[in-house]
Amino acid sequence: MKAAEETRTNPPLILQKEQQPAQGLLKKAGYGILYGVLGLIAVLQIYPLIWLFLFSLKDNQEIFSLSPFALPNAPKWENYANVWSQGNIDLYFFNSLWITAVAVFLTVLSASMVTFAITRMKWKLSQLVLGLFMIGLMIPVHSTLIPLFNFFLKLNMIDHPLAIVLTYTAFNLPLTIMILLGFYYALPREVEEAAIIDGCSIHRIFFQITLPLTTPVISTTVIINMIYNWNEFVFINTFISSDKYKTLTVGIQNFIGQYATDWGAIGATLMISILPILLAFLFLSNRIVEGIAAGSVKG
């Protein structure tokens, strides 16, 4: 009886060896299915970019006469040259670049200061201030268009890029603070305490110690803010009317006429507008994952 019970609980070595290859095959099959599904998802994600690129190399005749999925007969590379030189895309691209950069810088710096003050300083209204910032997450962006327009009109800031920069900064602050909070709570305080003992001021602690330590999560907030600011349309279209301050998202409308629309030029403009965000995401994607993972666990 003892031998039978031992055989049931501990299978012979030969049976164990036979089970291992079977388990290995099942594991490989599972990985194969997983990678196949992920590959299919990747193709579905990348294909729209490829389609847009091919679309940008066609003229109106090819776009409407050929199948939407057909390759261009003769690639129209001049679409890119024309939109860059004749469609003011160079000006719109520069405006998008500097407005996005300034707004991202102000948002990340301001949010870092607020998060540092809330997590590292002891003052009575810290939680109330944090709650007020978090309320900003619940305010629909488009519901503020008319109040903001009246506000900027009274300050003579309509058709001025400063109105766009301030709007982007204000609306991105709550989300940026929320992302930074988890990381700041996880930062060890010993380094800052040692700096205080050595006579380091609060400003030096923030700029020379805390801010450099938060580089991973800052990269996360930079790319998130950059994507929002670069692709934003409603505020630019509402507050800006001069051609010299328009960005790429609004400048595309120049190729839409009352009687004719240059669809190839629109496709080329869209490709130009996508490339900076795509490159930034490719270079900072690892940082995004690091920042979110580092700020997700306290301690």
For every residue of 221-241, DSSP letters joined together read HHHHHHHHHHH--HHHHHH--
Tens of pLDDT, residue by residue over 31-84, are: 889 889 989 998 888 888 888 898 888 888 888 887 777 888 888 888 888 888
- The answer to whether 281 touches 224, Cβ cutoff 8 Å, is no
pLDDT of residue 168: 95
Over residues 143-163, mean pLDDT: 92
State residue 22's pLDDT score: 64
Q: Can you tell me the mean pLDDT for 213-233?
A: 88
Q: Which two tokens stand for residue 182?
A: 């988890």
197-218 tens-digit pLDDT: 888 888 888 988 888 888 888 8
pLDDT for the residue 107: 96
**Residue 92: how many other CB atoms lie within 10 Å:** 25
Mean pLDDT score, 280-296: 65
Q: Which of 60-69, 146-155, 283-292: highest mean pLDDT?
A: 146-155
Using the predicted structure, report yes or no on whether residue 279 has a pLDDT greater than 70: yes
pLDDT at 152 over 90: yes
7, pLDDT greater than 60: no
Residue 155 confidence (pLDDT)? 92
pLDDT for the residue 61: 84
Residue 27: per-residue pLDDT: 78
Q: Is the pLDDT confidence value at 246 over 80?
A: yes
* CA 161 from centre of chain: 22
Q: In this structure, are residues 150 and 263 in contact, taking their beta carbons and an 8 Å threshold?
A: no
Give the other-Cβ count within 10 Å of 116's Cβ.
20
The CATH-assigned architecture of domain 87-296 is Orthogonal Bundle (1.10)
* Residue 34, CA distances (Å) to 29, 38, 44, 46, 162 in order: 9, 6, 15, 18, 48
Q: What is the pLDDT of residues 169-202, one digit of tens each?
A: 999 999 999 989 988 888 888 888 888 888 888 8
Alpha helices in 121-247 (DSSP H): 126-135, 145-154, 161-186, 190-197, 202-204, 211-213, 215-231, 234-239
Q: Is 84 exposed, middle or buried (0-12, 13-18, 19+ CB in 10 A)?
A: middle
pLDDT value of residue 200: 85
Q: Quick one: pLDDT band at residue 9, thresholds 50, 70, 90?
A: low
Q: Is 261 helix (H, G, I), strand (E, B) or coil?
A: strand
Q: What are the boundaries of each domain within the chain? A: 21-53, 87-296
Angle, to 10 degrees, between the axis of helix 215-231 and the axis of helix 89-120? 140
Tell me the sheet residues that pair with 256.
261
Is the CB of residue 213 less than 8 Å from the CB of residue 195? no
Round to whole Å and give the CA distance between 164 and 220.
Answer: 22
